[in-house]
Amino acid sequence: MLFRQLMKCLKQTSFSLSDYNTKRNFFRAVQLQANIPGTFVGSLKSIVGDANVSTADAVRDQHGHDESHHEVHKPDVVVFAESLEHVCKVAKLCNDNKVPLIPFGSGTGLEGGVNALQGGVSLNMSKMNQVVKVNAEDFDCTVQPGVMRIALNAYLRDTGLWFPIDPGADASICGMCATSASGTNAVRYGTMKENVLNLQVVLPDGRVIETAGKGKRSRKTSAGYNLTNLFVGSEGTLGIITEATIKLYGIPEKTIAAVCHFDSVQEAVDTVVQIMQSGISMAKLEFLDDKAIEAFNKYSKFNMKVAHSLFLEFHGPALGLEDQFNTVKELITSNNGSGLQIATDEDERKRLWKARHEMIWACTALLPGSKPYSTDVCVPISTLPKVIVQTKKWIEEANIIGPIVGHVGDGNFHVFFPMMRGDKETYEKVQDLHFKMGFLAMEMNGTCTGEHGIGMGKRKLLEKELGPTGIEVMKEVKKCFDPNGIMNPGKVFF
Ligand X SMILES: Cc1cc2c(cc1C)N(C[C@H](O)[C@H](O)[C@H](O)COP(=O)(O)OP(=O)(O)OC[C@H]1O[C@@H](n3cnc4c(N)ncnc43)[C@H](O)[C@@H]1O)c1[nH]c(=O)[nH]c(=O)c1N2
The residues of the shown chain that bind Mn ion, judged by CB under 5 A, are 451
Q: Is 105 in the site for ligand X (CB under 6 A)?
A: yes
Of all residues in the shown chain, the one whose CB is closest to ligand X is 175
Binding mask 221-260 for ligand X (x = CB under 6 A): --------------xx---xx-------------------
Q: Does 385 bind ligand X (CB under 6 A)?
A: no
Between 53 and 169, name the residue whose CB sits nearer to ligand CC(=O)C(=O)O: 169
Closest CB to ligand X among residues 34, 437: 437
The Cα–Cα gap between 493 and 489 comes to 9
Q: Which does 202 bind (CB under 5 to 8 A by kind): Mn ion, ligand X, ligand CC(=O)C(=O)O, none?
A: none
Q: Residue 289 interacts with ligand CC(=O)C(=O)O (CB under 6 A)?
A: no
Nearest 5°: phi and psi at 240?
-105, 120
Q: Which is nearer to ligand X, 64 or 107 (CB)?
A: 107
HSE on the CB side for 117, CA within 13 Å? 18
Provide, rounded to whole angstroms, the least separation between the CB of residue 410 and ligand CC(=O)C(=O)O: 11
Residues 63-82 that bind ligand X (CB under 6 A): 66-67
Sheet with 101-104: strands ordered across: 53-54, 77-80, 121-124, 101-104
To the nearest whole angstrom, how small is the minimum distance from the Cβ of residue 124 to ligand X?
Answer: 9
Cβ closest to ligand CC(=O)C(=O)O, residue 86 vs residue 414? 414
360 binds ligand X (CB under 6 A): yes
Q: Per CB under 6 A, which of residues 47..66 are in contact with ligand X?
A: 66
For ligand CC(=O)C(=O)O, give the closer residue by CB, 242 or 374: 374
Site for ligand X in 177-206 (CB under 6 A): 178-179, 181-183
> Cα-flanking dihedrals φ and ψ of residue 210, to 5°?
-110, 115
Site for ligand CC(=O)C(=O)O in 433-452 (CB under 6 A): 451
Among 31, 106, 211, 375, binds ligand X (CB under 6 A): 106
Strands 404-407 and 371-378: unpaired
290 interacts with ligand X by CB under 6 A: no
488 binds, options Mn ion, ligand CC(=O)C(=O)O, ligand X, none, Cβ within 5 to 8 A by partner type: ligand X
Q: How far is the CB of 172 from ligand CC(=O)C(=O)O (least distance, A)?
A: 16
Q: Binders of ligand CC(=O)C(=O)O among 154-173, rule CB under 6 A? A: 168
Residue 104 contact, options ligand CC(=O)C(=O)O, Mn ion, ligand X, none, Cβ 5-8 Å cut-off depending on partner type: ligand X
359 binds ligand CC(=O)C(=O)O, rule: CB under 6 A = yes
Cα–Cα distance, 311 to 326 (Å, whole number): 15
Out of ligand CC(=O)C(=O)O, Mn ion, ligand X, none, which partner does residue 270 contact, by CB within 5 to 8 A per kind? none
Using CB under 6 A, pick the residue from 108, 300, 374, 488 that binds ligand CC(=O)C(=O)O: 374
**Which one of ligand CC(=O)C(=O)O, Mn ion, ligand X, none interacts with residue 152, CB within 5 to 8 A by kind?**
none
Would you say the C-alpha torsion 104, 110, 113, 117 has a positive or negative sign?
Answer: positive
HEC profile of the chain: CHHHHHHHHHHHCCCCHHHCCCHHHHHHHHHHHCCCCCCHHHHHHHHHCHHHEECCHHHHHHCCCCCCCCCCCCCCEEEECCCHHHHHHHHHHHHHCCCCEEEECCCCCCCCCCCCECECEEEECCCCCCEEEEEHHHCEEEECCCCEHHHHHHHHHHHCEECCCCCCCCCEHHHHHHCCCCCCCHHHHCCHHHCEEEEEEECCCCCEEECCCCCCCCCCCCCCCCHHHHHCCCCCCCCEEEEEEEECEECCCEEEEEEEEECCHHHHHHHHHHHHHCCCCCCEEEEECHHHHHHHHHHHCCCCCCCEEEEEEEEECHHHHHHHHHHHHHHHHHCCCEEEEEECCHHHHHHHHHHHHCHHHHHHCCCCCCEEEEEEEECCHHHHHHHHHHHHHHHHHHCCCCCEEEEHHHCEEEEEEEECCCCHHHHHHHHHHHHHHHHHHHHCCCECCCCCCCCCCCHHHHHHHHHHHHHHHHHHHHHHHCCCCCECCCCCCC
Q: Does the protein bind ligand X through residue 356 (CB under 6 A)?
A: no
149 binds ligand CC(=O)C(=O)O (CB under 6 A): no
Q: How far is the CB of 81 from ligand X (least distance, A)?
A: 9
Binding site for ligand CC(=O)C(=O)O (CB under 6 A): 168, 359-360, 374, 405, 414, 451
Q: Can you give the binding site for ligand X, defined by CB under 6 A?
A: 66-67, 102-110, 113-114, 125, 145, 167-169, 171-172, 174-176, 178-179, 181-183, 235-236, 240-241, 360, 451-452, 488, 491
